Structure 1
Amino acid sequence: MVNVDAGGGDRLALAVVVQYRMATTEQMHLLTAPGVRIEQTRRRLAKLRAEGLVDRITLPQAGRTRVWFPTEYGARIAASWPELRNCAPRLRRGSDPTAVRLAAGHGLTVTETALAFVQDARRRGDVCMPLDWIPEVHHPLGNGEAVIPDGLFYYERRSQNRDGGDGWRLLRAFVEVDRATMGPERLSAKVGAYARLHAYVPVPGGRTPPRRYGAEQQEAAWKRRCPLFPRLLFVLDGTGPEASSTVSRRSTPRPDKRPRPDSCVRFRSWSRRWPICWGTDPRHLCGAPFTTSVSA
């Protein structure tokens, strides 16, 4: 068959805009078509806009940077695609210019974080595709509370088998991004929320029973995506070196075995000088071993 995938580039671009909720022209180019000239990405986005699938705003304070976001029509079309099946239901709605403008600082930093993992995988020969980053998945804790990480990413790392052959190791992590808007106390409290998520067992009626209830237990939402509890990575943007050490220190495991982050890394906005996130030991994500009972 000829030209059966003629719209493949348009489809990927729309899927990325819908899943990420917002991205600059440069981010879209590096995520979806880094091997071509950026003018081709601009033309593709302009075409999608003319078709009513995406729209854009301009940030004058950022060198007139254009930020793309899905319209309600575009989100509705993409929501039926199998590659977006794991996308959070609330992300399948379109955005409006005002909402995008007010959320651009955090939203674009989250997109930049995902882009860093995708680019690092390309350099290393690993696998982390643009849609392997799933943002804002709702994980209920009962009593109306929930954990909503900025992203859940899947990363396949090339490794060597014992016989010397090539193998693959699937790494997963919840990612929390902070732009110096929260103090160490609130950031540390997020770690406790993930400990509660690990222990949470849903039952009919919304009660949270102890684990001994066995037969009444239902499967937690995160178990439908990951066989083991993902690691936890904090990305601190616009903070000094003391911030990451403070969060790590305050999140040190206590006798109740609450987990601490695998890593707290600093992220310089728009520099793309991403700190290497993989330790020399391939068994452990983001540096030092994660020694608590919730380690994947």
Structure 2
Amino acid sequence: MVDMDAGGGDRLALAVLAQYRMATTEQMHLLIAPGVRIERTRRRLAKLRQEGLVDRITLAQAGRTRVWFATRYGAEVASEWPELREWRPAKLGADRIAARLRVGHALRVTETGLAFVADARRRGDVCRPLDWIPEVYHPLGGGEAVIPDALLYYRHDHHRGEEWSMLRAFVEVDRATMGPERLAAKIRAYERLFTYVPVTVGQPRAARARQEEDWRRRYPVFPRLLFVLDGTGPAGVENRLTALTASARLTGPAFRNAVPIYAASLTDLLRNGPSAPVWRPATAPEHCVSWTHPASV
């Protein structure tokens, strides 16, 4: 059983690990307890490991960095908590072999999420650790689905809390493990999600005509798309942005006008912060803007 200490620190640590899939000791510390000494986070993780809720692997090629993940038991415990209801159950938990096979991409996704959380803290916006939700399943029918690397919830305060916008984004973290065309094809998949209306077998045609798109059950507006580009130099980033631009310009006007699509290099994002004007709109890549503009509610 998780020790519910005074600050709920054990519960938060397990929830973050189960939701983020994997994180280094330093990433965990910055996510859950940046105001205390890192030794406290190390002790907390060691205790959760003794209880069988989390485990770790060691990356010899990265200075023996420890990478933590929730065990299947730990994920089952955490999945009962209401704050983690967005999960897809089939993805819960891992073992050491599974962790080693996916550690590179998982840590990049965690690093990106941490950048948004830390940036919000600096700016006085609201993006808590559990507002970054990897691999949320969105069905397209016929067994197909869109599963973004992460779904981001972010409250952007304009004037000291007097005016604010609730922003949502689908985030794709690309490490150049697929070609530019395959990356750009993800935009068309999101356009399919934008228009997808589930069909119930035997339902009258008139009733089907009144149904709304499936995404409206979760979101008041369709989340914007953020592509974070890593694994290449500047030339590779430009090649991928060119492919994204071509794909975005081929989408229908309803999707193109409703859904902002931005891309940024992970290097720029980490150096300047996600709120900085490091994002290039896919339909106008000559500009650099903040991902929070234009605001939506």
Shorter-chain TM band: 0.7 to 0.9
Distance verdict in 2 for CA 1:276–1:68, change over 3 Å: closer
Alpha carbons of structure 1 residues 205 and 120: separation in structure 2 relative to 1, 3 Å: same
Partner of 1:198: 194
1:214 corresponds, among 203, 209, 217, to 209
Asked if residue 14 in structure 1 is aligned to residue 14 in structure 2, the reply is: yes
1:226 aligned residue: 219
Change (3 A) 1:276 1:165: closer
Correspondence 1:8-47 to 2 at 5 A: 8-47=8-47
Residues 233 and 206 (structure 1 numbering): CA distance in 2 closer, same or farther, change over 3 Å?
Answer: farther
How far the C-alpha of 1:149 sits from its partner, in A, is 0.3
Shift of 1:233: 0.4
The answer to whether the aligner puts 1:250 opposite 2:250 as a matched pair is no
- SS of the counterpart of 1:10? helix
Gaps of 5+ in 2: 279-288
Partner Cα separation in structure 1 for residue 243 and residue 220 of structure 2:
28
Change (3 A) 1:252 1:210: farther
Q: Rate the CA distance shift 1:206–1:50 in 2: closer, same or farther, 3 A.
A: farther
Amino acid of the structure 1 residue aligned with 2:291: C
What corresponds to 1:240 in structure 2? 233
Partner of 1:96: 95
Give, as a single letter, the amino acid of the residue that structure 2 aligns with 1:10.
Answer: D
Query: CA–CA distance in 1 between the matches of 2:202 and 2:277?
Result: 40
Q: Residue 59 of structure 2 corresponds to which residue in structure 1?
A: 59
C-alpha distance in structure 2 between counterparts of 1:77 and 1:233, whole Å: 31
Conserved 8 A contact 1:141-1:197: yes
**SS of the residue aligned with 2:197?**
coil
Distance in 2 (CA, whole Å) between partners of 1:129 and 1:287 is 17
When residues 65 and 205 of structure 1 are mapped into structure 2, their CA distance, relative to the original with a 3 A threshold, is: farther
Q: Please report how far the alpha carbon of residue 85 of structure 1 lies from its aligned counterpart in structure 2 after TM superposition.
A: 1.6
Measure how far apart 1:275 and its partner are. Answer: 4.6
Cα distance between partner residues in 1 of 2:58 and 2:251: 50
- Distance (Å, rounded) in 2 between the aligned partners of 1:211 and 1:127: 43
Which structure 1 segments of 5+ residues have no match?
A: none
Displacement of 1:187: 1.0
One-letter code aligned to 1:214: A
Q: Is the 8 A contact 1:201 1:210 kept in 2?
A: no
Residues 223-281 of structure 1, C-alpha deviations (whole Å, 9 max, x = no match): 23211100000001122332343234323323733548621110139x9425544559x
Given that residues 188 and 251 in structure 2 are in contact (C-alpha distance below 8 angstroms), is that contact kept between their aligned partners in structure 1? no
1:84 aligns with 2:89: no
**Aligned partner of 2:271 among 264, 270, 273:** 273
- Please give the alpha-carbon distance, in whole angstroms, between the structure 2 residues aligned to 1:289 and 1:167: 14
Question: How many Å separate the matches in 2 of 1:51 and 1:133?
Answer: 26
Q: Which amino acid aligns with 2:200?
A: P
Give the residue type in structure 1 aligned to 2:85.
R
3-state SS of 2:168 partner: strand
- Once residues 126 and 7 of structure 1 are traced to their aligned partners in structure 2, the CA distance between those partners, rounded to angstroms, is 22
Q: Is contact 2:136–2:151 with CA below 8 Å preserved after alignment?
A: yes
Choose 74-83 or 115-124, whichever is displaced more.
Answer: 74-83
SS of equivalent residue, structure 2 residue 169? strand
Query: What is the letter of the counterpart of residue 222 of structure 2?
Result: F
C-alpha distance 23-205 of structure 1, shift in aligned 2 (>3 A): farther
TM-score (norm: length of structure 1):
0.85
RMSD (Å) for aligned C-alpha atoms: 3.0
Corresponding residue number in structure 1 for 2:291: 286
Match for residue 182 of structure 1? 178
| Cα separation, 2, equivalents of 1:288 and 1:165 | 17
Whether contact under 8 Å (2:228, 2:266) holds in the other structure is: yes
Distance 1:70 1:206, change over 3 A: farther
